[in-house]
Amino acid sequence: VLSVCAQQVFCVLSAIRERKKQFVFTDGAVVGLDPRVGFFITMNPGYAGRQELPENLKSLFRGVTMMVPDRQIIKKVKLAACGYQDNEYLAKKFFVLYALCEQQLSKQAHYDFGLRNILSVLRTMGSSKRENPDKSEIFLAMRTLRDMNMSKFVAEDVPLFLSLIDDIFPGIKADKAVFPDIEAAMAKVATAKGLQLHPQWLPKCVQLY
């Protein structure tokens, strides 16, 4: 697919260089050309699941280096937008926790502590804040960070992650978030299908939900 894209991009760029008003596209169709057309590719090859562009496509583009975003500022602003008063304090704890996770947990292909995961956690923090306005902010932040990450860790990383949570949020204990409607519906369906309500299976279904 990418080699076909390279041929198509080359076809358009060649027409621009020759200042043509119309040109023959790779499928044989004659199409009009807007000389202001541009192609832009956002790349992050080190990110999970990404791959390098082939050389014949890469050679048609000019590289522009981008700086790494300041994740702590992003967390602070997003938490403030969600109504967290202690946004700077919590953003620092969030930043330190993920930095320690990247350094100390095992390297797994499905682990993601980048912006994609961060924004997902921040959205859930915002929902928790709106649904539990009477609960303390540090309690909500700790519970969200714990519950949203536990589901993806392999067994040997779970104790280490929990110890990091305890170190960064000392003295704070929180039960898991409860979804009574979902849990009751799962129990009803499982029983109807003759399945056992295994204590480790039900939380996994909730985490997937």
CB burial of residue 87 (10 Å; 0-12, 13-18, 19+)? buried
Q: What pTM was computed for the model?
A: 0.65
Under 8 Å between Cβ of 54 and 3: yes
Q: At 90, which amino acid appears? A: L
Under 8 Å between Cβ of 122 and 75: yes
pLDDT in tens, the chain (209 residues): 788 888 999 999 999 999 999 999 988 899 999 989 888 888 766 666 667 788 888 888 888 887 888 999 999 999 999 999 999 999 999 999 999 999 999 988 888 888 889 999 999 999 999 988 898 999 999 999 998 888 888 889 999 999 999 999 998 887 776 778 888 888 888 889 888 888 777 777 877 77
Sign of the Cα torsion 205, 154, 146, 197 reads positive
The label of the residue with tokens 């403030």 reads 80
Paired tokens of 72 = 């702590």
Q: Residue 141 and residue 94: Cα distance in Å, rounded?
A: 8
DSSP state of 169: S
Under 8 Å between Cβ of 28 and 78: no
Give me the long-range contacts of 95-101 (CB less than 8 A, separation at least 24): 95/71, 96/168, 97/145, 97/164, 97/165, 97/168, 98/71, 100/164, 100/168, 101/149, 101/161, 101/164
Under 8 Å between Cβ of 137 and 86: yes
Q: At 123, which amino acid appears? A: R
